[in-house]
Amino acid sequence: MKNIVIIVFLFFSFAAFSQRPESGISDSWKKIYRATPTKINDLVNTNLEVSFDYSKCWMYGKALLTLHPHFYATDSLNLDAKGMNINEVSIIKDGKHIPLKYFYDSLNLYITLDKTYKGGQNYTIYIDYVSKPNEIKSKGSMAISSAKGLYFINPLGKEKNKPTQIWTQGETESNSVWVPTIDKPNQKTTDEISMTVPDKYVTLSNGLLVKQKKHNDGTRTDTWRMDLPHAPYLMMMAVGEYSIIKDSYKSKEVSYYVEKEYAPVARKIFGLTPEMIGFYSRITGVDYPWPKYAQIVGRDYVSGAMENTTATLHNEYAQQDARQLIDGNNWEIDIAHELFHQWFGDYVTTESWSNLTLNESFADLSETLWDEYKHGKDAGDEHNYVGIQTSLYSSGKKDLVRFYYNDREEMFDMVSYQKGGRILNMLRNYVGDSAFYKSLNLYLTTKKFNSAEAQDLRLAFEEVTGQDLNWFWNQWYYGSGNPKLDISYNYDTDRKTAKVFIKQTQPDKIFRVPIAIDLYQGTEKKRYKVWLENQADTFAFPASSKPDLINVDGDKILLCEKTDHKTLDNYIFQYKNAGLYVDRREAIDFAARIQTEDKNALTFLEAALKDRYKGLRIYTIQKLNIRDDSVKKAVEPLLADIANSDPSSMARSSAIQALGKYKNDKYKALFLKFLDDSSYSVSGNALIALAAIDTSAALKQARVLSAQPAKGILGDAINNILFTYADETDFDSLAARFENLSSGNSRYRVLIPFGNYLKRVKDKNNFSKGVDLIVAFRETLPQSMRQQFGNYLNEMVFKPIAAAKQSAGMTEQADYVKSKISGN
């Protein structure tokens, strides 16, 4: 599973407005050991026949479940079945239904079997039931914002600009809302799902479409069969109007289900998938194990994406138009992430949520691996470095494998994802690529179609490398924190010795870290591999003259915070001669800090504006202090060059943004020219830069540009300028614009500008109409977000409007908006 911008956006910007938990909240969970679920019965096969009632948002299901006792004989079966109506529970004997005794408490179905079954002895039960996903209470997590399992999207077709769809979301334990099952990650089942749907819709599920049958009443039944066992949370269904674009990997079908208007760009979004499948098959040594791979886009999806076996579901943000794709495919890394789960998560599954690292840390690492393979070492290193920074910022005192947590959804955090991915990357560096991939292959082939815990991974690595790796697992998997290093240097001219002093300054424990130290004299580099093992370690190396650079952690993979006492000259040397992405970035960071006081630092930054990697050109632009006159003057021609002719549209757009800060009329013609650029980023930043020097020209251009659909930076820029500078004569078109913004995300982003616009609206009817539109938007949000969002809206939009109206003497309008404050 992948959490994304929208979720991050919501949680980070609205988090401050969420209700604090009651003080004295119970921490009894700290004493609850989260054991791997006991296997009393094992799922064997799941056979479902379902149909949907769109008006009630119900699903009618008939399930045939084949199971057997895991080892010990038993006469009972406990199934997860959330919020259902149960019509019949029976056992199948010679084709006949024999009713069974059962007790149902709305979460679990406790069944007494007709006799005691021995370990491994199959039996098949039948359940007739109704799923009512909208009638159960659900909660969300960082990764998903709801847990209903089965979602009806715009079921009655009443919402404008939104198709009617059905999709499911199983992880963590929500599929038991629509299928009675043992909803635990250490179960595996084959399945066959028959969905009866209106004939105009297509369907998707796991495995292969084996049968389609049309009925006289305008419906059709599609039967999907998954012959290989997978975990219950990976079962999925999706129904809707889609274009299906077909590719292939070897002889297997690879397909992309997108809304019709995205059919022409589907290959631009998803088309690298076959190459990715080949890449991941090669590095793991396990050829893609499933019969097909489909990807589908769901509206109002509650997470970023989900790796249902052979049928990944993506958030609608995957659907980018042709102009967005000019700035790069925002979704490529999510596509890679979900695909790698088909091995790590689906083929071998974590046996408990405590061991989620076995799914998510690998998927996170796969993003780095793909970037490195497809876009070069700089891109891979950049992804890894961002992951390191995210981990340092957020991982705190949590172990990677956690047997104590309050709620299993909390496992989907930056420790399981980013930090775990970096831990695997350190392991890759330590054992070497070839041993790393051989160990992954051993782990996958040993545990295939099964579940595993983090120790299984250690055993595979020990088998391949011949080394005891408990120290690594104990430190990184079953421990928390990271080293904080203070690094300093000394050269002894008499003894011709260079020394490096490394102190570990973190308070709680000392880390054991294998580390590469590179010593540079001129272009000659000598690598020393040493271990940090003490609170303070000193390393001495022979050096005939003072080294130009001593580069600690030469591969720049260590998950650590560091204070490195290097000079500007060291860093400039490092930029040129060590040369990795992080080597260069560290040099840029250091020079940026002293750019206004050291001429050499500024000269270096001017050179860094021509870095070979676009990511570092952009980074350097962002680090420039343009308020300083000497910086401003020195970089201006370079920025103009980048704006005009950089091969990367993102670098051009960053340069335009920086030129906008000059507020110089001489760039007006240039900004006007860039408004027509094919890139949304270039065009959007040009519009913002234009507004900084001539608001009426920008407003005029925004009106023209608003006639065409626009997304990305341009879409936001148009909205911001219209809402910030237009007057009341534009009210009708602006109100319609707000109402028609297609995605929730772009509406969130214009709420404050729209609120500011309403402060200027004098007409009473217009004003109340505008306020009502915001209230209506609040009402469309899922219940789980409404309170947080309502608080945000009160503080950031409604109260400021009320205050402005009050001080302008418009009491009636002030009262109107006050009456809409939620909680009133």
Binding site residues, Zn ion, CB under 5 A: 1-2, 360, 363
Q: What is the DSSP letter of 187?
A: -
746 Cα distance to chain centroid: 18
- Minimum distance between the CB of residue 343 and Zn ion, rounded to whole angstroms? 12
Nearer to Zn ion, 360 or 646 (CB): 360
- The torsion angles phi and psi of 26, rounded to 5 degrees, stand at -60, 135
The answer to whether 506 touches 484, Cβ cutoff 8 Å, is yes
- Minimum distance between the CB of residue 365 and Zn ion, rounded to whole angstroms? 11
Angle formed at CA 472 by CA 468 and CA 476, multiple of 5 degrees: 155
- Minimum distance between the CB of residue 232 and Zn ion, rounded to whole angstroms? 17
Cα first-last separation, the chain: 38
The answer to whether 502 touches 485, Cβ cutoff 8 Å, is yes
- Minimum distance between the CB of residue 606 and Zn ion, rounded to whole angstroms? 41
Nearer to Zn ion, 390 or 521 (CB): 390
CB atoms within 10 A of CB 110: 13
Nearer to Zn ion, 111 or 356 (CB): 356
The answer to whether 461 touches 408, Cβ cutoff 8 Å, is no
Nearer to Zn ion, 1 or 166 (CB): 1
Nearer to Zn ion, 363 or 658 (CB): 363
Q: Which helix (H) or strand (E) covers residue 484, if one does? A: strand 484-492
- Six-digit token pair at 247? 């590719």
318 Cα distance to chain centroid: 12
Nearer to Zn ion, 272 or 335 (CB): 335
- Six-digit token pair at 450? 């099964």
- Minimum distance between the CB of residue 262 and Zn ion, rounded to whole angstroms? 23
DSSP secondary structure of 100-119: -EEEE-SSEEEEEEEEEE-T
- Six-digit token pair at 132? 């009512």
What's the CA gap between 493 and 472, in Å, rounded?
38
- Minimum distance between the CB of residue 237 and Zn ion, rounded to whole angstroms? 20
- Minimum distance between the CB of residue 1 and Zn ion, rounded to whole angstroms? 4
Strand partners, 520: 525, 549
- Six-digit token pair at 286? 């396990």
- Minimum distance between the CB of residue 807 and Zn ion, rounded to whole angstroms? 50
528 Cα distance to chain centroid: 38
What's the CA gap between 6 and 746, in Å, rounded?
10
Nearer to Zn ion, 363 or 424 (CB): 363
Nearer to Zn ion, 57 or 363 (CB): 363
Angle formed at CA 734 by CA 4 and CA 710, multiple of 5 degrees: 45
| 3-state secondary structure string across 665-721 | HHHHHHHHHHCCCCCHHHHHHHHHHHHHHCHHHHHHHHHHHCCCCCCHHHHHHHHHH
Q: Which helix (H) or strand (E) covers residue 516, if one does? A: strand 513-521
Nearer to Zn ion, 424 or 572 (CB): 424
Nearer to Zn ion, 363 or 605 (CB): 363
- Minimum distance between the CB of residue 340 and Zn ion, rounded to whole angstroms? 8
Coil vs helix vs strand at 382: helix
- Minimum distance between the CB of residue 175 and Zn ion, rounded to whole angstroms? 17
Q: Is the peptide bond before 116 cis (omega within 30 degrees of 0)?
A: no
Nearer to Zn ion, 316 or 360 (CB): 360
Which residues, in sequence order, are CB contacts of 95 under 8 Å at separation 6+?
A: none
Which residue of the chain is nearest Zn ion when measured via CB? 363
The answer to whether 304 touches 3, Cβ cutoff 8 Å, is yes
- Minimum distance between the CB of residue 347 and Zn ion, rounded to whole angstroms? 14
Nearer to Zn ion, 2 or 747 (CB): 2
- Minimum distance between the CB of residue 5 and Zn ion, rounded to whole angstroms? 15
